[in-house]
Each structure stands twice: as structure tokens, then as C-alpha cells.
Structure 1
Amino acid sequence: MRTTPLGSTGLTVPIQGLGCMRLAGSRAPDGDRDAIAVIHRALDLGVRLLDTADLYGGGRNETLVGRALRQRRDEAVLCTKFGVVTTPNGGLGARGDAAYVRAACEASLTRLATDVIDLYYLHDRDPTVPIEETVGAMAELVTAGKVRHLGLSNVTGADVRAAHAVHPIAALQAQWSLVSREVEEILPVCRELGVGVVPYCPQGAGGLNLAASARPRPPHIAGVSPTLAEVVRDVARQHGVRPGQVALAWVQQQAEVWQVAVVPIPGTSRIDHLEENVAAAALTLDPAALSRLTTASRPH
């Protein structure tokens, strides 16, 4: 698979990764074995960037990924996230104080069964803590050799600037697809600072595949308008591929539009879907198809 520098911090990865969130939480007898098989198949296909978080499955996802990499750690660019915590009332909050950054990293290293995390993300910023303090503590982890590169998730352009002033940021992880384009407001900052973009849910959380494939088309799904579904379906038919592959290719080709590194991390728990996603890395949409998709995806 073709590779790209992810940001300007020296990290080079294939142009598509694997989001491992969907591999968490299975209680089926063969759930873990099947999940590990997906990760191993991804590595076999040239997918190197594996994305998890301490939030997923209450840490169980990190443990699973660590097990999958027990004999193949050197093949993976291992990414995880911290900062989202469970509140006393059972909800979710954020924590970014320096002490927590250090403790969270140690816990993730243990679960992942590794000595170093290749890309460590702040999952969501703590509004009570200056982002400079959080990223400063993350930078100390780099100095200590526990982390190689730093990333941010679900932040603003101002947050990216403030964080980058403390320590170079390799990647911004954000939702980006034909049905979710808010991150485009931040992309000029990423381009200016040399920060790569790692889109999660690049296929619209599966909604694009479902809405564009169904016969007849079901009512409103995951924000997919009838017009967008029709265009995605038509472009897929012209290229002889599935709608989800078109959606993924559109995101990947935004690297040329915005002049930033783009490495989407589609998630799946099925090997056949994984193989379809990887095939989309080689799919090139012509300018007319890109224009139709972009126009149809604009909010109305």
C-alpha cells in the first residue's frame, strides 16, 4: 500500500489504517479469536496503523490489540488515546492533568503489552486544564521514550495551534466523511503546521453503504440525503465497486484537495469488509465523480 508522511514529525504510514473500536466488547466464545484474525489479516494486507483507546471496552480493546501484536509488534504503528473518563454518575467526562496523563500512559502500556506507543492521542480535551499542560505532560512521555509521536482528537483549530507550540503534533483525529465535514474548518491550520489528519468513521458510520445499497432506499439514515445516496450509488456502479468504497476513496483523495496527509481508519469486525476497505486505497475517482460527491454532500 502506498505510504505518506503523517504530519512533519517523521512518522510515515500506509494511506489507510484500521480502527479497532468495533473489535471491543465481544463476549462470544470465538469473539477474541475472530478479532485477532481481523488484525492479523490487516497486517498481511499492508495496513500498519492500528488505532485503539483506553475508553474502548473499558481497556479491553487495548488488551486485545496487545494480544494480537504479541508476535508482530514490529509490523504495526500502534496508536491509542486517553483523556475520556467515566464520571461518578456513569457518564463520560474528560481529564487532562499532568498526573493523569502519566498514569493513563502507564496503564495503556501495560494493557498493550509494549514498551512504547507509536502515536499517543489526547482523546478529548479537559476544559478545566490548559491544553499546554496536557501536551506538556505528553511531551515528557516522548522524552522518556514511552511515546514516539503525539496526536489530538476532537479539538479546535486554536487547540491545535496551542498544542503544536508546546510539542510538534503529528496527527489530528476527527470524524470526516461525506456526511460529516466539520473538520474542514480546521484543515488550513493542519496544512500550515504540517499536521496529518486521521479520519474516523470515513464511511459515515456505515450509513453511506446502507443508504446507497438498499433497494428500495430506506428513509433517512445517518444523515444521508436521498441525493447523496443516489450519487454515491451511481459513482459506485460506474466504477464497479461498493458504495462504502466510494465513500472511503473520496476521503482519501481529499489529501490532494486540502494538501494535507490523510490516513482514514475505517473500522470493521469482518475480514471481507476489511479487504473491501483496503481495495479502496487503490481506487481513484475522476474529477467529475469527486465534484458530484462533494456537491451532493454539502449541507442543505
Structure 2
Amino acid sequence: MADSSWLTKFPQMDRSDLLAIRKSLDSAYRDFSREYGDVIESFFDPLLTFLVWFEKLLLSTPWWLMIAIIVGLVYAASRSWKLCAGVLISFLLIGYFGMWNDTMRTMSIITVCTLVAIGLGIPIGILMARSDRAQNIITPMLDVMQTMPAFVYLIPVVMLLGIGKIPGVIAVVIYAIPPVIRLTNLGIRLVDREVLEAATAYGANARQRLLGVQLPLALPTIMAGINQTIMMALSMVVIASMIGVKGLGQPVLKSITNQYFTVGLLNGLAIVALAIMFDRVSQSYAKRTQRHMEGVQNG
């Protein structure tokens, strides 16, 4: 009887201890956010200023000029008239169905998030490629970032910075940055050692080998990482709309809560069109870069 009583009481004590730990951690994080939230928010003011400016630029640019610029960029990256025609038709349909402004808002935040992810991810990937210790430390962190449910990212960010564009950008970047880090690391590690030895024989130092040999040869792999980062950022758009990020995600969220099937379908298809455009353009650019690098090596 004594053993049975102990078995019934022990789980209850364990749950109460766990509850106390959770309350203390929640209280500590709330105190931290109250104490340092404003300071951390001010740190992101330049990024917010740039994001607001870029969004206004896309919204204020005439639609015909915006489409011409996008089609020109697509052709410059892909050299494919078929892809340009597909992009042109997609944006004309987006405008025709009244989703132009939301699409421009989504493009602005995806562009900024991708630039931030590239600016942070490539240096971290280079660090991992140069140091096995750094790789052993960072790899488990990337595993957690990739397997953690996306909604979980929103909780600490909203508690710290509230609702708005910057919390959305931070959540999207955390969710989308692992591929560019992993593939930058992989691309640099896969560079042929004989090529590096030849560069060293010609007197190149570590910085010259990195900028002149490793990064150019790893560029197709890095572009594949950037491609995956863009795809993951787009997949986070709807979730980020829950914390005030305007764009195609908000009509989708409203259609879920109000059961507007057509609105959700059309905005979902617009997100798909953006995803296909970014995917095809980045893949085409990566293939062109790879062919160029192979030509340089054979030459």
C-alpha cells in the first residue's frame, strides 16, 4: 500500500515542479522583454525604415513599369522568353483579380527577408566550412530551427517586440535561413582541393582563395540554398500574417476564419505564382552560373 501511494503522489509532485519551472521561465522572459524590448526594437529601426521605404516604392511604382522591371530582371537572370511570358501573364492576372497591392507587400517582405538571410547565412556558412568546431556547434542549432514548428517562432518574438513588420521579418528569417547556411558550407567544402592547392601555389592567401576560388566555384550550390530559403520564406507568409505582416497571407487567413473559399484560393494561387517565379528564376541563374564555371575550368 505504501508503494502504491508513493506511485500515485509522485507524478503529481513532478507536474507541480514542472509548472513552477515553466512559470519562472515565463516570468524571467517577460521581465527581460520589459527591460530590453525597447532597446532591441530600436536596434531594428534601420531595417524597418528600409522595409517601409521599399514597400512604398513597390506600391507607388506604376503597375506597367513594375511589370516591365520584373520581366527585365527575370530575362537577365534566366535568358528565357518562355519564363518571361509566364511571369508577365501571372502578374497581369494578379492585377486583374485585385491582388496587386498585397502581392507587392509580399514581394517587399520576401525580398528583405531573403537579403537578410543571405547577409547572415553566407558568412555563417563560410565560418562552418573553415572550422569543424563551428560546424559541430552550429549544425544542431540549424536542426532545431528546421524542425521547430513555425508557430513557435512567433511566441518569443511577439512577446519581445509586439506585433508588426519587424517581428514578422525575424520569424521568417529564423525559419528560412538554415538552407543557405547549410549549402554555403557544403558548396565550399566540395571545392576541389587540387584547385585550392594550385591557387596557393600561385601565391594566393586565404582571403584570395575564398573570394577568387571557393565562393565562385560554390556559387551554384549557394544559389540552390538561396532558392530553398526563398521557398521557405514564402511558405511562412501566411503564418507571419498572424502577427500583422500585410500581404497575400492576410486574405488567406481571413478566408480561413470567415470561410471565403474563393478569396483564399486566389490569394493562395498568387503565392504559388510568386514561388514558381522565384524558383524558376533562381534555378535558371544557378544553371547558367554552373555552365559558366565549367567552361572556365575546362578553359
Q: Same fold (TM over 0.5)?
A: no
Q: Which has the higher helix share?
A: 2
Q: Which has the higher strand share?
A: 1
What TM-score results when the alignment is normalised by the length of structure 1? 0.24
The structure with the largest alpha-carbon Rg is: 2
